[in-house]
Amino acid sequence: MLKRSCASARFASRLVIVTMGAAGLLAVAVPEAGAQSASCQSIQPMLVQRKEISGRLSAGPKGKLDARVACSGFNQLVSNGQALIKWVDANKDWCQIPDTFVGGIKADHEKAISIRARACKVAAQQTEMEKRAKEGGGGGGGAGGLLGGGGLTGQQAMPQGAL
């Protein structure tokens, strides 16, 4: 899980850099002409939100990020990416957005989807394991399961019959 957390943190850090660069690129690429300028600037809130989400994802302690927090954060990032891609596709020509920016956003979005799938899978497994532990099943592993004990309860039953 540590490798996944580090990969998530590296991706989030890279995403912050790409997002900041994209904001600067759009500031240069967007012409300052009346209505066009106003409509082209409407991407800024999405980029700011993306930067904030990326910052939260990369702010985990020492590169570790809880799977449930990562799942939630990457759900937000994917949602933001979908809105951003939709906006860019609709306004690319009007706002003179470079193809490299569009390609970068789409590539980062695909990576976010991939990482989200892994983080949410680990989060679901973590939730299931906690549920089993609370129920006293403990997943059926360990000596408790072999001896008929209660899993994580600390109680062990004596084996019955001939030893």
pLDDT at 154: 52
Which of 95, 74, 128 is CA-nearest to residue 28?
Answer: 95
Q: Quick one: pLDDT band at residue 1, thresholds 50, 70, 90?
A: very low
> Quick check: is 150 in a domain?
no
Domain count, the chain: 1
> Quick check: is 30 in a domain?
yes
> Quick check: is 147 in a domain?
no
> Quick check: is 11 in a domain?
yes
> Which domain covers residue 122, as residue numbers?
2-139
* 78-111 per-position pLDDT tens digit: 999 999 999 999 999 999 999 999 999 999 999 9
> Quick check: is 152 in a domain?
no
Residue 46 has pLDDT above 90, yes or no: yes
* Higher pLDDT, residue 3 or 131: 131
Mean pLDDT lowest for which of 22-36, 68-82, 131-145?
A: 22-36
* 11-40 per-position pLDDT tens digit: 555 554 455 445 444 444 444 444 556 688
> Quick check: is 36 in a domain?
yes
46-50 average pLDDT score: 93
User: Cα–Cα distance between 26 and 30 in angstroms, integer?
Assistant: 6
User: Cα–Cα distance between 134 and 129 in angstroms, integer?
Assistant: 9
> Quick check: is 145 in a domain?
no
> Quick check: is 149 in a domain?
no
pLDDT at 137: 57
